[in-house]
């Protein structure tokens, strides 16, 4: 077991180094960097010269974009990142780690609630659809699942905003708090419910977008298991349909589900970039989009490496969870 663990961790470290090098190369080769975005207006108006812009790029380490220059700057970044220092964000004027830890928790809260709702709704729907294959319930649920999966997040968000915030006026439109309300410092309960109202629509969007895929995955795997010989044997022995479905069939369905659910770990902390932007939620996804648009290389690298680490960690967790859901899997 320990040999297997060390092998997987070593492979994960190699993957992270390769991912970081590729992301750094792509970011450095962007058509416009942070200095270009900030000085374009001043350069056109004549307030700054090209020499001024070049000096700023040298100050920010963006001047030399040759292969040797990129390799040298990547080596410096890699050395500092190994000590936990991902640099200083150009846009936010703070260390990257501080920005990540400050804004990821609101994204985590939204994604976690949506993730739990997806499992509570999607998995039972998939099981019931598989048991009632080709029935009215199966067709109805499958149609709605495909619609939810196919809808773009920004379209669904705009639709819900128009109905519940503009037409019915029962939920807030955007933001995390109501700007027109002034709460007392001791009104913690009122502030909590105000934020809760603002999170209903974003959570609903993420839930509706994810529940269809989880439902279809559960249904497909359940159908494969329900047609197995040991399921027919269990039914022939007189076991109830409930025991056959949930004790014998669903346990084997959990093997691919574990892989899928473990892969959702980056989305819990990484934020929903489009959804947070549409609803103007100050989560880590919204902050990452702003930084990417401005060419904030330190933040882009820190954010993407954060997601890469979570992805590798989720894969490792899924490998070990196989032992829990499938006793045939042993680590050697």
Q: 């989009």: which residue's tokens?
A: 289
Of 123, 147, 77, the C-alpha closest to 250 is 123
Do 99 and 299 form a contact (C-beta atoms < 8 A)?
yes
Tell me the DSSP string of 136-179. HHHHHHHHHHHHHHHS-HHHHHHHHIIIIIIIS--S--SSSS-T
To the question of pTM greater than 0.75 for the whole model, the response is: yes
> What one-character DSSP code corresponds to residue 282?
-
Q: Classify domain 96-325 at the CATH superfamily level.
A: MetI-like (1.10.3720.10)
In this structure, the number of other CB atoms found within 10 A of the CB of residue 99 comes to 25
Q: What angle do CA 164, 188, 206 make, to 5 degrees?
A: 35
Domain boundaries along the sequence of the chain: 2-81, 96-325
Q: Say what angle helices 297-325 and 284-294 make with each other, to 10 degrees.
A: 140
* DSSP tally for the chain: helices H, then strands E: 15, 0
Output the tens digit of pLDDT for each of the chain's 332 residues: 677 778 878 888 899 999 999 999 988 888 888 888 888 888 888 888 888 888 888 888 888 888 888 898 899 999 888 888 888 998 898 999 999 998 888 888 898 899 899 989 998 999 999 988 888 998 999 898 888 888 888 899 999 999 999 999 898 888 888 766 666 666 678 878 888 889 999 999 999 988 988 898 889 888 888 888 888 888 888 888 888 888 888 877 777 777 776 667 777 777 788 888 899 898 898 899 889 888 888 999 999 998 888 888 887 777 777 666 665 655 55
Of 214, 222, 210, 217, the C-alpha closest to 128 is 222
């Amino acid at each position: 077991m320990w040999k297997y663990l060390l092998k997987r961790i070593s492979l994960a470290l190699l993957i992270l180094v390769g991912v970081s090098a590729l992301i750094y190369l792509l970011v450095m080769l962007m058509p416009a960097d942070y200095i270009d975005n900030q000085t374009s207006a001043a350069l056109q108006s004549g307030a700054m010269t090209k020499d001024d812009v070049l000096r700023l790029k040298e100050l920010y380490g963006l001047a030399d974009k040759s292969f040797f220059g990129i390799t040298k700057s990547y080596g410096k970044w890699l050395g500092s990142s190994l000590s936990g220092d991902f640099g200083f964000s150009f846009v936010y004027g703070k260390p990257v780690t501080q920005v990540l830890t400050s804004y990821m928790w609101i994204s985590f809260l939204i994604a976690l609630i949506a993730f739990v709702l997806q499992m509570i709704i999607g998995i039972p729907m998939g099981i019931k659809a598989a048991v009632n294959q080709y029935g009215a319930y199966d067709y109805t649920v499958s149609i709605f699942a495909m619609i939810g999966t196919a809808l773009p997040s920004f379209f669904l968000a705009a639709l819900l905003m128009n109905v519940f915030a503009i037409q019915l006026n029962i939920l807030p439109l955007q933001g995390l708090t109501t700007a027109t309300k002034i709460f007392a410092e001791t009104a913690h309960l009122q502030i909590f419910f105000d934020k809760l109202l603002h999170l209903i629509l974003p959570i609903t969007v993420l839930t509706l977008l994810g529940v269809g895929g989880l439902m279809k995955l559960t249904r497909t795997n359940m159908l494969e298991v329900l047609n197995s010989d040991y399921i027919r044997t269990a039914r022939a022995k007189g076991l109830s349909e409930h025991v056959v479905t949930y004790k014998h069939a669903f346990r084997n369905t959990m093997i691919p589900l574990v892989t899928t659910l473990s892969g959702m770990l980056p989305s819990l902390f990484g934020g929903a970039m489009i959804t947070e932007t549409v609803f103007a939620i100050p989560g880590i996804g919204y902050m990452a989009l702003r930084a990417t648009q401005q060419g904030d290389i330190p933040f882009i690298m820190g954010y993407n490496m954060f997601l890469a680490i979570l992805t590798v960690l989720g894969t490792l967790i899924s490998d070990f969870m196989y032992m829990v859901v499938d006793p045939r899997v042993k680590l050697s």
